[in-house]
């Protein structure tokens, strides 16, 4: 097996083409350096240098081998710095999943601030419902997920940080407002567009509970998983939807966002596996805490 020390000896002689100067650079005497090069040549089965009383030169074999040795030694020399950066979370990967509502509230600020602080970390984003994210995190996939927390306790293996609480607003067709239906009492009994309960039970129950208290009736016309799809259906005049206030950032022709009386409040937060000791996760949690406090 090749000795890294011998490779460094070879590079020093190849750079200086002088055993005395190479030995001085390496902080050693010339005889042990010459012996090291001879042992390396015997191991390789080929001469690396031609030697005479006046000069030292690389052989054709030595010149070609040098092209392979130098980058290897340089990469090895860089390993301590790479280890430090991995330890400090400044390089690597971060797997982050998120619910669709976060795309208009938390996600842009989180990713922007994290990327500015850790530009060498590759951020892999995946949109998924909260239930899918929780199962994925429990299975060891990804680092963290922006979720709507369930109404029951999260599995003990997961940690959770609340990040945002925001009121729901009504997204209604523009035509309804033009017709004078600008108060929630004017359209609460109209067709509703809603998340399926199986994929967003907390959000679903928050909406249906509020409407049941306010109007006593519920007419779900269409279900959709993606928030963009829900808003598109509203713009098509198919009904109204209750959405987080941050969805105002999704400006869509034909849609108006209206405030509700005593609106329900939706919480969004960050979940991660407690046992995950990744440095990139640790630093991302620090950024998330800063965004929360901002």
- Would you say 225 and 272 are in contact if contact means Cβ atoms under 8 Å apart? no
Mean pLDDT of 117-122: 92
Q: Residue 198: phi, psi to the nearest 5?
A: -65, -25
pLDDT score, position 100: 86
pLDDT digits (tens, 9 = 90+) for 122-151: 999 999 989 899 999 999 999 999 999 988
Are residue 75 and residue 132 in the same domain, yes or no? no
- Would you say 129 and 225 are in contact if contact means Cβ atoms under 8 Å apart? yes
- Name the domain count of the chain: 3
Task: Indicate the range of 13-17, 87-91, 211-215, 285-289 predicted with least confidence.
Answer: 87-91
pLDDT digits (tens, 9 = 90+) for 48-99: 999 888 899 999 999 999 999 999 999 988 888 878 877 877 778 999 999 9
Residue that finishes a domain, picked among 39, 54, 88: 88
Are residue 139 and residue 259 in the same domain, yes or no? no
Confidence of residue 199 (pLDDT cuts 50, 70, 90): confident
Domain extent, residue 146, equals 92-164+267-293
Are residue 42 and residue 109 in the same domain, yes or no? no
Are residue 83 and residue 137 in the same domain, yes or no? no
Answer yes or no: pTM beyond 0.75. no
Mean pLDDT of 99-117: 91
Q: Tell me, what CATH number does 195's domain have?
A: 3.40.190.10
pLDDT at 162 exceeding the cut of 80: yes
pLDDT score, position 275: 93
Confidence of residue 286 (pLDDT cuts 50, 70, 90): very high
pLDDT digits (tens, 9 = 90+) for 208-262: 999 888 876 777 888 888 888 999 999 998 999 999 999 888 888 899 999 888 8
Confidence of residue 201 (pLDDT cuts 50, 70, 90): confident
Q: Share the mean pLDDT of the chain.
A: 89
pLDDT score, position 127: 92
pLDDT score, position 35: 94
């Amino acid at each position: 097996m090749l000795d890294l020390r011998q490779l460094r000896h070879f590079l020093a002689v190849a750079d200086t083409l002088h055993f005395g100067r190479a030995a001085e650079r390496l902080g050693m005497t010339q005889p042990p350096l010459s012996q090291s090069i001879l042992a390396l040549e015997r191991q390789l089965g080929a001469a690396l240098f031609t030697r005479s009383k006046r000069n030292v030169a690389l052989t054709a074999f030595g010149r070609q081998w040098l092209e392979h040795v130098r980058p290897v030694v340089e990469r090895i020399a860089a390993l301590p710095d790479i280890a430090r950066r991995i330890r400090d979370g400044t390089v690597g990967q971060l797997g982050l999943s998120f619910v669709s509502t976060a795309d208009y509230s938390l996600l842009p600020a989180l990713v922007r601030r994290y990327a500015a602080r850790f530009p060498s970390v590759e951020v892999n984003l995946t949109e998924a419902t909260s239930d899918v994210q929780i199962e994925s995190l429990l299975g060891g996939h990804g680092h963290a997920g922006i979720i709507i927390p369930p109404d029951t306790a999260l599995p003990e293996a997961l940690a959770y940080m609340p990040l945002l609480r925001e009121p729901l607003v009504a997204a209604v067709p523009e035509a309804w407002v033009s017709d004078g239906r600008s108060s929630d009492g004017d359209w609460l009994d109209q067709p509703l567009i809603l998340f399926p309960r199986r994929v967003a039970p907390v959000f679903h129950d928050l909406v249906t509970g509020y409407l049941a208290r306010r109007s006593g009736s519920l007419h779900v016309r269409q279900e959709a998983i993606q928030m963009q799809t829900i808003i598109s259906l509203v713009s098509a005049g198919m009904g109204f939807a209750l959405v987080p206030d941050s969805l105002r950032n999704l400006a869509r022709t034909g849609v108006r966002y209206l405030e509700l009386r005593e609106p329900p409040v939706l919480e969004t937060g960050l979940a991660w596996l407690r046992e995950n000791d990744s440095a990139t996760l640790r630093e991302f949690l620090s950024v998330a805490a800063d965004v929360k406090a901002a």
